Structure 1
Amino acid sequence: MRGKMSGVLAGIMVVGATLLLGGCVVMNLPRFGGEPDDDKKQTYARSDNYTDNAFHNQTATPVLKEGVSTWSVIWGNITTSVKDLAPNSAIPVNKVDFKALDPKDNILVWLGHSSFYLQLNGQRILVDPVFSDYASPFSFMVKAFKGTSVFKVSDLPDIDVLLISHDHYDHLDYNTAVALKDKVKKVFVPLGVGSHFARWDYTDTQIEEANWFDSIELESNLRIHLVPARHYSGRGLNKNQTLWGGYVLTTPDYQLYLGGDSGYGPHFKAIRDRFGDFDLVALDTGQYDPRWPYIHMTPEESKQAATDVGAKVFLPIHIGRFALARHPWKEPFEDIEVLSDNAPYQLYTPLIGQPLRLGETPAPSTEWWEAVE
């Protein structure tokens, strides 16, 4: 009997060791990226928002609501159902020809979720591109909505600047980043995010990291600023080893604010105080959940944030391509449309791939989502 028990225990130990070893091998795959080394961390320690070996928000921001655990979220997702998390039919998309666009034209193209292609003052800019059909480390998880994975890196012209708001998989896609390596002149990212690109063989001259309110100036009077957001970071087990943020892009003629992922907070008014009103803002309006109320905005909060920053045109983002939260996929579109009636901004909800000429008043938004089953 004792020998049999010893054999069972030995078997359990072998299985456990195998799983542990396998987990270590998986977590070391390139898709998980890299981490800042000790020298980098010593540099980050001079930042006001880096303490105890991690980055922090300006406002206390737990990922989950008090009393909610990761396991309770998993169990709740398993035991409760939500209708219409994803569409049953294809999302309509405008298959824009990027290479045919006149580089002298100032254009913004929403690519779904939080991804953008921009042309400003002769500079080509790519923001949070995800051209994979999924937003996770593995292809069977977080699948894109039908019809939305129509663009490839090969469709793009050379890119002057790649902007990444933070290192979550629905904003920093490994396959896309690797394919872009020889197409991108400059990568401008929050502190620590450059470690991922370094592991993916980007050169030191390509990568420039920034703290909140740092900026770079490009040719033809275009300046790009990294600004605060209320969120968190991490691609593996270690959280908040890299910074997160949004981007303000300023030229003599336009001022744009692409907010990245963010919960509602006082940073929106602070950004307006620093930069003034914005011609166009794009703000987190989806993937909200009462179990994580601090890191994403509901449509009501998104409307308030757009008002706080003085938006003339408001484009809701973090919607339309992936289901990362347990709300119907149409709900953010429907709610923000109702809430924006008589708002101080013009709501703009384009098709994926629909170019907007900056400086021109956007055409009235069509309720394209209503035709999707």
Structure 2
Amino acid sequence: MALVGIAILGVAGVFAYLQQPVFGELPSGERLERMTLSPNYVGGAFLNQIDTPMKTTDQSEVSMWMGTLFGEEGQTRPPGTVPTVKTDLKALDPAQDLVVWLGHSSYFVQLGGQRILIDPVFSANAAPIPGANEAFEGTNLYTADDVPEIDALLISHDHYDHLDYPTVRALQPKVRQVIVGLGVGAHFERWGYDMRRVREADWNEVVALTPQVQVHVTPARHYSGRTFTRDQSLWVGFALVSPERRLFVSGDSGYGPHFAQIGQRLGPFDWVALDAGQYDPRWANVHMNPEQAAQAADDLRIHALMQAHVGRFTIAPHDWDDPFKRIVAASRGHAYALWTPEIGQPVHLDGRAQSFTAWWEGGAMTKQPRLAAEAKEQ
């Protein structure tokens, strides 16, 4: 009986812990009714366009994650401080089309006079448990206070390294509009957002920021969920289109035919950011390795490629710099340019000459973070 009591207390403790706001909210009511009308919501959950088993080995999912947490790993964290550039985002001319990578899958984008923030994570820990996924040394550059007024906040899906509760709460007074996949709005509603400003969209829907700037919500190949219940909100990518330029951010995604379809429908693209980190043979369907990202770049018909899902947090057991080394090799001989800015370094989209370094190489790890004044000189 004592063991039964302990078990009951344990279950009650877990249940109580999961009531914290960081875990968000599952869709219900009218939101859930709208989700059921989506052709991508089948049998009580969202599905990928093609069959996508989460794990690609015979071991159980529990065993897979235990092996990731406690098994043999490579050098999953940099040996020193990551080189960065602290750009004053508020001082940037909104008329200039540019991108600032904020680390991992976070981007500050200026396009057609619109300021757009994609998957911002300003927390030092990308997990609901303290210390579970700490950012690399030197990469905690930005806070919500560093960000100007935002015309559109785009969230690709609800995993903790993309939808960060403290960041989203801190940004709330600065955000004019939120664009997310179906179901993700339930989190924002619980966190106090004015739902008149939150647009939940299905794959292939279009949201106009202005008559000239559009956000196309595109398919991805992934999964969702902040607790044990999965796939109750939709994972997406984003194509940002203005009369002058076309940009694309994949969100987390395994390789699939959707890239060629997006390229045919919306390409060619001037700049793209593709998931090319945190890959592993055990979950090969839901993240791309660098070689697959190079193929996806060709499918999309692009001019310039940057990596996403790298440089700030570790989820997979590969060496932290393996994605950078492999994308350099995989991109040789392709028609696109590979851009490798440091975190915080502005990337201009107007065709000007730009140079980038292999900042992940060993000697660079001893560099001190560069000052904002240096960033302005670039």
**Same fold flag (TM > 0.5):** yes
Q: Which runs of 5+ in 1 are unaligned?
A: 1-8
Alignment of 1:52-131 (within 5 A): 52-77=43-68, 80-131=71-122
Instruction: Using structure 2 for the length normalisation, give the TM-score.
Output: 0.94
Q: After the TM superposition, which of the residue ranges 62-71 and 87-96 deviates more from structure 2?
A: 62-71
Q: Distance in 2 between matches of 1:292 and 1:362?
A: 38
Answering whether residue 278 of structure 2 is matched by residue 287 of structure 1, we say yes
- Tell me if the contact between 2:223 and 2:231 (Cα under 8 Å) persists in the aligned partners: yes
* Cα RMSD after superposing both structures: 1.2
Q: Which residue among 303, 308, 321 is the counterpart of 1:330?
A: 321
Q: Measured at CA, do residues 120 and 79 of structure 1 come closer, stay the same or move farther in structure 2, by a change above 3 Å?
A: closer
1:266 aligns to 2:253 (yes or no):
no
Counterparts in 2 of 1:223 and 1:318: CA distance versus 1, 3 Å: same
How many aligned positions are there? 364
Question: Per-residue CA shift, 1:70-126, capped at 9, x if unaligned?
Answer: 222134235532231011211111001011111222121010111000111111110
Give yes or no for the alignment of 1:369 onto 2:360: yes
Query: What is the CA-CA distance between 1:149 and the residue it aligns to?
Result: 0.7
Alpha-carbon contact 1:92-1:351 (below 8 Å) kept: yes
Match of residue 300 from structure 2: 309
Q: Gaps (5+ residues) in structure 2?
A: 367-378
Would the aligned equivalents of 1:166 and 1:193 in 2 still touch at CA under 8 Å? yes
Question: Quick check: 1:121–1:220 contact (8 Å CA) kept in 2?
Answer: no
Instruction: Give the alignment partner of residue 223 of structure 1, picking from 214, 218, 235.
Output: 214
State the partner residue of 2:247: 256
Give secondary structure in 1 for the equivalent of 2:239: strand
Identity rate, percent? 45
CA contact (8 A) 1:254 1:359 kept: no
> TM-score, normalised on structure 1?
0.95
- Measured against aligned partners, the alpha-carbon deviations of 1:309-339 in whole angstroms (never above 9, x if no partner) come to 0011010111000110010000010011111
Assess, with a 3 A threshold, how the Cα gap between structure 1 residues 120 and 78 changes in structure 2: closer, same or farther: closer
Kindly indicate whether the alpha-carbon contact (under 8 Å) linking 1:279 and 1:311 is maintained by their aligned counterparts in 2. Answer: yes
CA distance in 1, matches of 2:340, 2:290: 13
With over 3 angstroms needed to count, the CA separation of the structure-2 counterparts of 1:187 and 1:175, relative to structure 1, is same
> 1:341: which partner in 2?
332
Distance 1:363 1:334 in 2: 20
More displaced 10-residue stretch of structure 1: 218-227 or 109-118: 218-227
CA distance in 2, matches of 1:79, 1:366: 34
Name the structure, 1 or 2, with higher relative contact order (CA <8 Å, separation 6+). Answer: 2
By how many angstroms is 1:35 displaced? 1.1
SS in 2 for 1:145: coil
Partner of 2:148: 157
- What residue identity is the alignment partner of 1:319? V
Alignment partner, residue 163 of structure 2: 172
Question: Are 2:254 and 1:278 aligned?
Answer: no
Give the aligned partner of residue 35 of structure 2: 44
Q: Which residue of the partner structure matches residue 3 of structure 1?
A: none
